[in-house]
Amino acid sequence: MNAQRLLATFCDLVRIDSLSREEADVAAYCKQALEKAGCLVRVDDSAAATGSNTGNLIAYLPAKGIEEASSGARVPTIYFSAHMDTVGPGRGVEPIIGEDGILRSAGATVLGGDDKAGVAAIIEMIRALGEDSRPHPRIGVLFSTCEEISLLGACAMDTSDFDGEPCFVLDAGGKPGSVIIGSPYHYGFTATFTGKAAHAGILPEEGISAIALASRAVLALELGRLDAFTTVNVGTIEGGIADNIVPETCVITGEFRTLSSERAARMQKEMEDRIRAVTEGADASVELTWLVDFEGFSRSEDDPLVRLVLEQARSLGLHAETAFSGGGSDANILNRKGLSPIVLGTGMTDVHSTRESLAIKDLEDLCLLSEALVYALQRQ
């Protein structure tokens, strides 16, 4: 690993605006860097599905010093994944390096370490592998678009190349050495209440307030953290057209997250029952729709791939630990698309805020760990 080059790559990347659906410029930068490092690179046709101005970037670094697979056999591959988009405010990012060795944004923007730390570490790892004389297997690189908006890029990614291979997703909080072994199912809902309009000052008793119905539904739901792996939230409520009209319609939206499919099914039914109950016996109705944003995944702490990551982290002097995440990542999608993903901590801190920061040492450790994983799997 060339630490100076890694830092320069990260700073280059964060200076390129790449809000969701606007990733073309950063994709072009990554394509050029990976091709120069010896990768075969293509951009898929997912833009038609995601609305981005580019597709996902998919690259392969050919194996080195390994016998070619026999005719017709699949080439063993290790995948690394990160996403190219950032949240706002993310235009005009200028990184600064503090005397404490911490990278921050100079202005009122995010830094973009989520997830350009992962992108930069993977690019530098690919360069380092190419410059090292040691043999290595084929490396696949997956740089997705639109991760920050319901993982749309990964959802639209072609799955034909995937066959259960390990995939390290560099996209989590926590220091390098931390391993996310589980991430939740994410269900979103929209409930549209229909009551009866009436003049609020002349005949309010003839009206049925849709806002009141929606409010009762919100109060009927258990919100917040229900257990270690389950959360519920109502995020928006909108209804009514004027203060002197009993509101005829009101819409609430919300979500729940939980780690198991069985708990998700129970949660969905229980929440539906509570929401629908507020209109029973009234001349009112509610239309309820659900969207499964992404499915969860989990791995055992005894999983051989998990143990391998922890062992390699410890060998580098990193604090190795496992954790579950309350958020989603491309791993949730890649898991059901045929890969075997594990999410790695990158050191990103205070993401999705203007306080975001990243320690240079964490960026370096992330790259070193990624490289160590390649050689560890090669020895197996």
260 or 246: which leads in pLDDT: 246
Q: Name the average pLDDT for the chain.
A: 94
Has 44 been annotated as catalytic?
no
Has 280 been annotated as catalytic?
no
Query: Is it the case that residue 69 has pLDDT exceeding 80?
Result: no
DSSP assignment, residue 40?
E
pLDDT in tens, 117-161: 999 999 999 999 999 999 999 999 999 999 999 899 999 998 888
Question: What does each C-alpha distance from 44 to 52, 86, 143 come to in angstroms?
Answer: 12, 20, 11
Spatial CA neighbour of 179 closest among 303, 317, 349: 303
Section 300-319 average pLDDT: 95
Query: Is it the case that residue 79 has pLDDT exceeding 90?
Result: yes
pLDDT in tens, 166-212: 999 999 999 999 999 989 999 999 999 999 999 999 999 999 999 99
Query: Is it the case that residue 72 has pLDDT exceeding 60?
Result: no
Query: Is it the case that residue 113 has pLDDT exceeding 90?
Result: yes
Q: Which residue reads 């930068």 in tokens?
A: 29
Query: Is it the case that residue 22 has pLDDT exceeding 70?
Result: yes
Query: Is it the case that residue 230 has pLDDT exceeding 80?
Result: yes
Which among 22, 23, 44, 85 is annotated as catalytic?
Answer: 85
pLDDT for res 262: 93
pLDDT for res 70: 44
Which among 124, 147, 171, 330 is annotated as catalytic?
Answer: 147
CB atoms within 10 A of CB 206: 11
pLDDT for res 67: 62
CA atoms of 188 and 253, how far apart (whole Å): 7
293 or 157: which leads in pLDDT: 157
CA atoms of 48 and 317, how far apart (whole Å): 45
Query: Is it the case that residue 5 has pLDDT exceeding 90?
Result: yes
pLDDT for res 378: 84
